[in-house]
Amino acid sequence: MTLDELRRLDPKKIGSWPVLPKLGVLLLVLLVILGAAYWFVWKDQLAQNESERAKTEQLKTTFLDKKKIAIDLPAYRKQLDDIEKQFGALLKQLPGKSEMDALLTDINQAGLGRGLQFELFKPAATETTKDFYAELPITIRVTGNYHDIGAFAGDIGKLSRIVTLNDIAIGAGKDNILAMDATAMTYRYLDEAEVAQQRRAAAAKDKKGAPPKK
């Protein structure tokens, strides 16, 4: 059909129109209906479907992560048991409060057993407490030959309890012998009462440092 023929069509007599214009009008009405349906109904439904799809993917990821954890749980438990055993073995190397005097004696005897002379053996007046243990530094000064001082340092490392030598300084002493100044750091575990006291002190400190409630 030509453009003039389309212009002469009467909108009030669509039933008498030729087939092609009728199909064009039907197609236009269909497009209007589809557009209205999308705008007023389908758009929200599509957005909701997309949101539900995202939630489904998130739940699937969470499920797979938890499934992997569940599969690896026996290995995690075994790893935790191994860590607890290692921790227990290390803890046994820390003396209790009642064993500290014996440990100080062992350090002294390790030096005397190598023929060294203690010119200074001064434990600190107070301990430094940590989470579950306490440190006690001992300032020492021993004199002897190079071989005996080295053997003494080795003997300290072989003690059944943990002792470390820090801030070591070796210089010439009297009568052509060597003098070693060092800090022997000893450790002991805190008993249950001391651990509870540590926790109470930490809680009080946190509470004191917290901002006031409005």
pLDDT at 127: 84
* Residues in the chain, total: 214
Q: What are the beta bridge partners of residue 180?
A: 142, 170
- Say what the pTM is: 0.50
pLDDT at 75: 79
Higher-scoring residue by pLDDT: 140, 132: 140
Q: pLDDT tens digits, residue range 168-206?
A: 999 886 777 899 999 999 888 777 777 777 777 777 776
Least confident of 21-25, 79-83, 138-142, 189-193: 21-25
Confidence band, pLDDT 50/70/90 cuts, at residue 11: low
- Kind and range of the H or E element at 213? none
Query: Read out DSSP for 90-154?
Result: HHHTS--GGGHHHHHHHHHHHHHHTT-EEEEEEE-SS-EE-SSEEEEEEEEEEEE-HHHHHHHHH
pLDDT at 63: 84
Minimal CA–CA distance to 140: which of 169, 119, 159, 109?
A: 119
Q: pLDDT tens digits, residue range 89-126?
A: 665 666 666 677 888 889 999 999 999 999 999 989 88
Q: What are the residues whose beta carbons fall under 8 Å from the beta carbon of 181, sequence distance 6 or more?
A: 120, 139, 140, 141, 167, 168, 169, 170, 171
Average pLDDT, the chain: 79
- pLDDT over 70, % of the chain: 77
pLDDT at 70: 80
Q: What are the residues whose beta carbons fall under 8 Å from the beta carbon of 12, sequence distance 6 or more?
A: none
Give the C-alpha separation, 187 to 166, whole Å: 13
pLDDT at 210: 53
The domains located in the chain, with CATH, are: 18-92 (no CATH), 97-194 (3.30.70.60)
